[in-house]
Amino acid sequence: MSQTLAEKFYYLMKLGREFEIRCKEEYLKGNISGFLHLAIGEEAVHVGAVVGFGKGDLFCPYREHVLALARGMDPRLIMAELFGKATGVSKGKGGSMHLYEPKLDFFGGNAIVAAHLPHAVGAAYARKLMGEKAGVLCIFGDGATNNGTFFEALNMASLWEVPVLFLCENNQYAIGTHISKSSYLKDLYLKAKDYMPAVQIDGMDVFEVYKAVVEAKQYIETYGKPYFIEALTYRYEGHSMADKGDYRSPREIEMYKKRDPIDLLLQKSFKEGWLTEEQVKLIDQKVEAIVEEAVAFALASAEPSEEELYTDVYCGVCSDVIP
C-alpha cells in the first residue's frame, strides 16, 4: 500500500471526522436544524469505498457527509447546505440528507431507505444502453436489506447484467433496532450470494475496504455484472441528532471504539513507515483550517430568497403555474 494512499486516507477520514464533530456542535448551537445523521466511526467504509471506486455514478443514503467530502465536494458548500443557506450545494433547500451534485456524479443522499437501489440499477442500465462500461456504486445500510426494493434491485441487476457495486455498510442498527430483531440472515452478504459474487469484509480497516472495492470495480466493469460487499462497521453516535442512542450499552460502544478506523489506519501507517508524526500534524492543521473556513462561509452566507420556494419543485413549468 503506497505512502500517497495512506496520506490520502488519513486526510479524508480526519476531514470527515472533524467536519462531523463540528456539525454536531453547530447543530447544538442551533445553526443546523432538521435531520442530521453522523457517520462518526464509519469513515473507513466511506473513504475506502469512494477512493477505491474512483470515477462513476454514486448513489447513497442520508448519512452521506463523508461520502460527499471523499468525492471532492467543497466542504464550504456542504456546511452551507446544512445551515440552510443559499450557497449550499442544494441551494439550502435539501439539508443534510440531500447533498446532490451531478457534476461529481453524486446522486445522493436519499432519505427513503433502499429507494435508491433501483435508481442505481437504472443508472447502470442507462449507461449500458449508451454503450458505456462504467460501473455504478450504490451504498446502503443493513436496515435497507430488509426492504422489498433491495431484492428487486438485486434481481434486476443480475437479470439485466448491469455493473452495480452494492455496498452494504452493516453498522448493526436501523435506528434503534438491532439486526438480530429485524433480519433472518445475520451475515447480510448471504442475501446476495445467489445473485452475484458476495463478500463480507472488515469495514473498520480502510485498506481492506479499498482493496475489496478496487477488485469489485474491476469485476463489474470487466464482466458487466453486479457485485456485493458487506462491510462490518459501527456508528458511535445515535441514529440522528434526535436519537440519544440509549438502546446500546456504553460498554458496547467502548468496545467498538477500541477498533477506531482512524486509529487503525495510523497504527498500520506508522508501522509500515507510510506516515510520520510530522505529516499527521500538518494534515490535522489543514483539516482544522478547512472546517473553520466552511463554518465561516456558511455563517456569512444568505438564506435562500422567497422566490426559491417555487424553483426546483418538479420541473421548470411548476414555477409558471404556481402563483
| Nearer to ligand TPP among residue 83 and residue 173 (C-beta) | 173
| Nearer to ligand TPP among residue 90 and residue 110 (C-beta) | 110
| Nearer to Mg ion among residue 171 and residue 183 (C-beta) | 171
| DSSP assignments along 239-265, one per residue | SSTT---TTS-HHHHHHHHTT-HHHHH
Per CB under 5 A, the list member of 141, 203, 238, 261 interacting with Mg ion is: 141
**From ligand TPP, Mg ion, none, which one binds at residue 79 (CB under 5 to 8 Å depending on kind)?**
none
CB of 140 to ligand TPP, least distance (A): 6
Q: Which of residues 146-185 bind Mg ion (CB under 5 A)?
A: 171, 173
HSE at residue 309, side-chain half, CA atoms within 13 A, is 5
**From ligand TPP, Mg ion, none, which one binds at residue 144 (CB under 5 to 8 Å depending on kind)?**
ligand TPP
| Terminal CA-CA length for the chain | 59
Neighbours of 270 (CB within 10 A): 14
Q: Among residues 66, 8, 75, 62, which one has the least CA distance to residue 41?
A: 66
CB of 274 to ligand TPP, least distance (A): 30
| Nearer to ligand TPP among residue 8 and residue 24 (C-beta) | 24
Q: Which residue, judged by CB position, is nearest to Mg ion in the bound state?
A: 141
| Nearer to Mg ion among residue 93 and residue 259 (C-beta) | 259
Enumerate binding residues for ligand TPP (CB under 6 A): 63, 111-113, 141-144, 171, 173-175, 239
Choices 71-79, 137-145, 193-201, 274-282 (CB under 5 A): range interacting with Mg ion:
137-145
Say if residues 42 and 233 touch (Cβ distance below 8 Å): yes
CB of 296 to ligand TPP, least distance (A): 30
**How is residue 52 written as a grid cell?**
477505491
Q: Among residues 163, 167, 221, 222, which one has the least CA distance to residue 192?
A: 167
Give strand ranges (E) for the chain: 57-59, 136-141, 164-170, 173-174, 177-178, 198-202, 227-232
Residues that bind Mg ion (CB under 5 A): 141-143, 171, 173
